[in-house]
Amino acid sequence: MNKQNTKKIKTEQNSEISSNKQLSGPSAIIIFAILLIVLTLLSFTLGRYPVPLKELLAILGNKIFNLFNGSEKFWTDQMEAAVWNVRLPRVILSILVGACLSAAGASYQGVFQNPMASPDVLGASAGAGFGAALAIFLDLKHVNITLSAFVMSLITVVLVFRISNYVKGGKVLGLVLAGIIVSSLFNAGTSFIKLVADPTNKLPQITYWLMGSLAGAKWSEIKFVIFPMLAGIIPLILLRWRLNVVTMGDEEARSMGVDAEKIRIATIISATLVTASAVSVSGVIGWIGLVIPHMMRRIVGNNYQWLMPVSMLGGSIFLLLVDNISRNVTTSGIPIGILTAFVGAPFFIFLITRRGERY
């Protein structure tokens, strides 16, 4: 393919991206960032133990910057404990997990050139579910449940990559097929553990974890997953420029001097790492990686320069909003996976049935 045709293809893609876009990328980032900040502050004030905004800001300022050292506190110890030990870890994990799942979903959809791709495509969620179920069955501590889920998730993805090398046909198809096979095996393993688990104690705990929840969020979990999350998110942000070229196909990417295969592998590894990290602390939360990138495409278009950061912000906002509903509607809290399914499934039906829309 000559340079003139390549330039024409690139121009047509950029034109298509611009025509689909309703908001400019910088404007969307600013708007969503402001929404996230407002929702984050609101999240601290919600709960069965109310914390007014003034006391909230004072508690955070005193903890982080030691602003009120030596001064008389105008908030209670219960407020401080609720904000610092309970709500702050949960809010931070909601933001991180939402951003990771949404970024992974946007990446998978671009790499596989398939709008139905999601973080579950390589079996990361199935592996994490099996690891957590096994740890709960063995009566391990909470931090070991997180570690087991993370390790088994990565093992699952490694198996998928190894099996895909022996699948005849395209590598993308091989990865998808291997993901389905390995996910089925680990789901069967999880079902067996649930079958033999103590029905009065361990079985309910396994079932609740698999439905997804951030109710037990702790600082130790944030310290455990923050570095793997950053190790996956940073490459995805840096590679977002090249993802636009990869989505055009291998021949076009090659003509522009981009090694599509290397970009694809690096993106899949990074997206899977953030998925494994997120699922290991939150349980299995579906639909975010599938629905949010579609929603963001309607706002900023298909250009990954803006789609990636806006999807991350959108995922954080969505999961934080859902988690607020989860912990405030009932005293026991509704598992997040149930709420995301209630919201995600109807919205996705709306997306794929709209006249004139193509995905």
279-308 pLDDT per residue, tens? 888 988 988 998 899 889 989 999 999 999
- For residue 63, count CB atoms less than 10 angstroms from its CB and return exposed for 0-12, middle for 13-18, buried for 19 or more: middle
Q: What is the pLDDT of residue 3?
A: 46
Q: What single letter denotes the amino acid at residue 218? A: K
Structural domains in the chain (count): 1
Q: What is the pLDDT of residue 125?
A: 86
Q: What is the pLDDT of residue 351?
A: 66
**Any domain includes 3:** no
Tokens describing residue 87: 């709500």
Q: What is the pLDDT of residue 183?
A: 92
**Any domain includes 38:** yes
> Where is mean pLDDT largest: 10-14, 17-21, 68-72, 248-252?
248-252
Mean pLDDT across the stretch 4-32? 62
230-259 pLDDT per residue, tens? 999 999 999 998 898 888 877 888 888 888
**Any domain includes 173:** yes
Mean pLDDT across the stretch 93-122? 88
More confident site: 14 or 93: 93
69: pLDDT confidence band, cut at 50, 70 and 90?
low
158-196 pLDDT per residue, tens? 898 889 888 777 777 788 888 889 999 999 999 999 999
Distance CA 252, CA 59 (A): 54
**Any domain includes 152:** yes
**Any domain includes 6:** no
81: pLDDT confidence band, cut at 50, 70 and 90?
confident
**Any domain includes 358:** no
Distance CA 124, CA 175 (A): 12
| H runs (alpha helix) in 112-170 | 124-137, 142-164
Distance CA 239, CA 19 (A): 23
124: pLDDT confidence band, cut at 50, 70 and 90?
confident
114: pLDDT confidence band, cut at 50, 70 and 90?
confident
The DSSP code sequence of 223-278 is: HHHHHHHHHHHHHHHHHHHHHHHHTT-HHHHHHTT--HHHHHHHHHHHHHHHHHHH
Q: What is the pLDDT of residue 15?
A: 43
**Any domain includes 133:** yes
**Any domain includes 5:** no
Entry field: residues in the chain:
359
Answer yes or no: are the C-beta atoms of 234 and 277 closer than 8 Å: no
Question: Whole domain around residue 341: which residue ranges?
Answer: 23-353
Q: Give exposure, 164-182, as e/b (b: 16+ Cβ within 10 Å).
A: beeeeeeebebbbebbeeb
Q: What is the pLDDT of residue 352?
A: 67
Nearest to 190 by CA among 177, 176, 178, 203: 203
CATH number where 180 lies: 1.10.3470.10
Share of the chain above pLDDT 90, in %: 38
Answer yes or no: are the C-beta atoms of 130 and 160 closer than 8 Å: no
Distance CA 210, CA 204 (A): 10
Tokens describing residue 18: 């611009």
